Structure 1
Amino acid sequence: MPAEFLHIHPQTPEPRKIQQVVNSLRNGGIVIYPTDTVYALGCDIHNARAVERIARIKGIKPQKNDFSFICHDLSHISDYARVSNAAFKVMKRLLPGPFTFILEANNKVPKVLANRKTVGIRVPDHPIARMIVFELNHPIITTSIKDDEDEIMEYPTDPEIIFERFQHQVDIVIDGGFGGLIPSTVIDATDDNFDIIREGAGEFTR
């Protein structure tokens, strides 16, 4: 059964449609949704089968994944990661925004991801993504969608094209308008040196 193509207003998401997405996630669904950078695959971090489905779509083993978490705000972060005072101050200043912070994982990270010593945390500046997480009441997995066959555009931006490609692999594709071309800036915050692992959409300043 093909996925549902669900139009959601990018600035004022309709609560009924957000709840539809949340219900799908709670039932083990996989959703493609917009962020403040590129479109991403997501699922409930506590659903091991859904995480494994995303890993298969990405062509990797679940234990070898580099998935990050989408959080609604900073309040969820300490549930899954150890955050120094310096890192918290930087994150509070830059989030919500186009950044992924790599932090030391704690023992509350779900078992399917538990072999990892670090975890990536995102709080995107996008109403749809943050409203989904808020209503779900815990983070979702996020991993960007890449187009390995397109030599010009690494990240697909048109939700209709994304739907055509993934409609038989996921449960919902959200149309929140055209996505971006540049992924998030990735910052290693496991210590207070704040090394930039990947230059992206966010401009990092200490």
Structure 2
Amino acid sequence: MLRDEIAKALKVLQNGGIILYPTDTIWGIGCDASNTEAVKKIYALKQREESKSMIILLDVDNKLQSYVNDVPEIAYDLMEYAEHPLTLVMPGAKNISPALIAEDGSIGVRVTNHEFCKQLIQRLRKPLVSTSANISGEPSPKNFGQISPEIIDGVDYVVDLEQHDMGEKRPSTIMRLQPDGRFEFLRR
């Protein structure tokens, strides 16, 4: 089942499509983070301004250097010891679609602990875009049952995993991390 869903999602991503998928936090809309056309499809679906950047998911922390110029040493400790999923916003984004990079050159990155996401990213060999499965300005859905039909109908593939899990999940903690190790919480 898991392998089948990974294969189906992978094919959609490789063809420039967007998917709706479960993560270690809330359900996300995603695409290949290097594909600008796919990234723009997500902005259009969410009716979101492109100046509001989205995050990328990685499968392992040693890939951080591939997408961020100067990763502060503390980033690895923060990710390892965080009690909840942690997104780090760091300057110096590289090797991803320019449409994902904030005006200040930063990108939000989370190393996922979700098995589907980890395996999909490994197979894709690129980061996966992740943004909440809602129209911009509306509340983030806490489970699959709260996702609007507009979002479900607007993606190219809905991953058939965890759709019946009605437990309420929460978004990740977000911290802005400077190259010198200073940080601030953007969302707890």
Mean CA deviation greater in 122-131 or 40-49: 122-131
Q: How does 1:91-130 map to 2 (within 5 A)?
A: 91-94=79-82, 98-114=85-101, 116=103, 117-130=105-118
Which among 150, 174, 178 is matched to residue 186 of structure 1? 174
Aligned to 2:13: 25
In 2, Cα distance between equivalents of 1:143 and 1:21: 16
Aligned to 1:174: 159
- Aligned with 1:168: secondary structure? helix
In 1, Cα distance between equivalents of 2:102 and 2:182: 24
CA pair 49-56 structure 1, distance change in 2 beyond 3 A: same
Q: How much is the aligned-residue C-alpha RMSD, in angstroms?
A: 2.5
TM-score after normalising by structure 2? 0.84
Percentage identity across aligned positions? 26
Which among 40, 43, 46 is matched to residue 31 of structure 2? 43
Q: How does 1:48-87 map to 2 (within 5 A)?
A: 48-62=36-50, 64-81=51-68, 82-87=70-75
TM-score after normalising by structure 1? 0.77
CA shift at 1:185, angstroms? 0.3
Whether contact under 8 Å (1:155, 1:181) holds in the other structure is no
Which residues of structure 1 form unaligned runs of 5+? Answer: 1-7, 9-13, 200-206
Aligned to 1:3: none
CA pair 160-183 structure 1, distance change in 2 beyond 3 A: closer
